Chain A
Amino acid sequence: MSRLDRQSFLGPNSDAILNAATIGLVGLGGGGSHVGQQTAHMGIGGFVNVDPDVIEDTNTNRLIGGTLADVAVSLPKVTIAERLIRGLQPNARIFSIRADWRDVVDDLKLCDVIVGAVDGFKEREQLERFARRHLIPYLDIGMDVHDLGKKGCLVSGQVIMSMPGAPCMRCCGFITDERLEQEAKLYGAAGSRPQVVWSNGVLASTAVGLLTQILTSWYQDPPSFVFLDYDGNKGTLTRNPRMELLQNCACPHHPPDETGDPLFDIRARSFRPRAAAAAPAVERPVPWWRRAWNRLTGQNV
C-alpha cells in the first residue's frame, strides 16, 4: 500500500504518471503556495518553482507553509515551497529559482504544465503566450477584492485552463487591450492588493483538479477549455458563459505557426545538460546575531 492509495481511481498508472510529471509554478505567493502544497500531496515528482520574492510579514495571512521565523530571516518564497514539498515528496526533482520567470525560460520549456499565480494582466498574457509557443497547457488563477462602497467588498477571482489550440485568455475576454492599457497606466501606483487565504485556496484547489485532468484520465472527455468565475461573497464557482460558447472554437490569437523559438537555428545552438535538481536541503540554524536581533525586536522565532 502506498501513501497515494486513496487516489488510485485516477488510473492504474496514475502514481507513475504524476511522479514523472514536471510542473512549473510561477508565483509562490498566496495562490501558488497552495498549488505547491497540494501537488506535493498528490505525488507530483517534478517542480520548477519560480518567484523572485522573499516572504514578508504581510504575506503570512495567506502564504501556505510560511512562518514568522521565515519572515525573520527573509526566506525566499521558493525555499518555503521546496521545504513544504520535500516534507511529502523527499525525492522530488525541484528547481527552486528566485528570479523573474522570463530569466529562466529554459527550465519552464521542459515543464508538462505551467500554473501561473501572478499579479497583473501583462504578466499573465506573456506567460500564456510562452506556454502556447511550447505546447504547454497553462492554468491561471487569480483573485481580487473590489470596493463596493457602502455595500462592503466583493471577493472575486477566476480559474482558466488554456490548452494549446483551444480558446485562450484573450478569446474569453479576460485579457483585453483595455485592461492592459489600464494596468500600464497604474503601474507603480497600485499599492498592495488585498488577498485572503480562503479564496486563494478555492481557486488553487480548482486548478489542481484541472491539473489532474490534464495528467490523468480519471473521467472521459473533460472539457479542453475551462473558464470559471469565483464569487467569494456568494461562495460560488460557476462556469463563465463564454466557456460553453467557445468550447469548440479554435484560438486566433496563438496560431500554430508561432510555436517554437523565433529565428531558431540548430547550427547556432549548443546543447548542455542542466545541473541536476537540488538535493534535499538541510535546514540551517538561524545565526546567533539574527536570533539576538529577533529577541531585541520582540519577534517570535
Chain B
Amino acid sequence: MNIRFKIASALLTNIRIDLRRPHDFAHERVGFIAAGLAAAHDELLILAREYRPVQDDEYLRDPSVGAMMSAEAIRRARQWAIDDRVAVFHVHTHGGRGVPGFSGVDIRENAKFVPNFVSVAPQCVHGAIVLSDSAAFGQVWLDRKSSQPFIATFSEIGMPIRTWRAA
C-alpha cells in the first residue's frame, strides 16, 4: 500500500502560522488535522479537511519536552474522530527546510496516544505528522496490530502543486 497525504496550500499555511504562535510556557505548539480518506488501487489517499489547535490551557508543564498535551486535549481530538468519522493526525513543526523526521520523543509519544484513536474510530486510519517550513513527514496507524507505515508522498495543492516523497 502506498500512502499519499494531500492538503490544500491555504490550510497548510494556516497550520504553520498557528504552530508558530508562542505559548506562555510550552516551547512549541501542537494541533490536530482531520482528514477524509479515499482508496484507489493500492493507494490510500489522506485528504486533509480541517485543523484544530490544542488550546492554551491544554498544555502541561513538562520541561523535558517541547510540548506536552493534557488528557483533555487528546479526549477532545478523539471525540472529533468519533463524531465526524474522520481520520485524525497529530501535527507539530520542527521548522527549518527539507523533509523533517520524528525525534525520539515524538516516536515514543506517538506510540502512546495514536492507538487510542484507532480504538475509538477504527474505520479510519490515524497518525502523526511533523512539518518543516517547506515539507512534512508522517506515519500512519492502520489498526492496533499492523506495523505503522510512513506516508510515502505529500502533495500541497496550491498554485503550483508541490509534491515531495517523504518515505
Contacts and interface: CB of A to CB of B under 8 A. Distances in A.
Main DSSP-derived SS at the A contact region: loop
A108 to B, nearest CB: 8
A272 B41 contact: yes
Interface residues of B, number: 35
Contacts of B81: none
A265 B44 CA distance: 11
B39 interface: yes
Nearest to B36: A260
Nearest to A256: B49
A163 B159 contact: yes
A252 to B, nearest CB: 15
B104 interface: no
Main DSSP-derived SS at the B contact region: strand
Contacts of B160: 213-217
Contact of B35 (A106, A107, A260, A266): A260
Q: For the side of the interface on A, what is the size category? A: 35 or more
Please indicate which of the listed interface residues A20, A163, A216 has the most CB atoms of chain B within 10 Å of its own CB: A163
A266 B127 CA distance: 14
Interface string B1-22: 1000011101100000000000
Interface of A: 20, 105-107, 109-110, 112-113, 133-137, 163-165, 213-217, 221-224, 256-261, 264-267, 269, 271-274
Given A261-B38, A272-B42, 14 more contacts: A106-B40, A135-B7, A137-B157, A137-B161, A165-B10, A165-B11, A217-B160, A256-B49, A256-B50, A258-B36, A260-B37, A264-B37, A266-B125, A266-B143
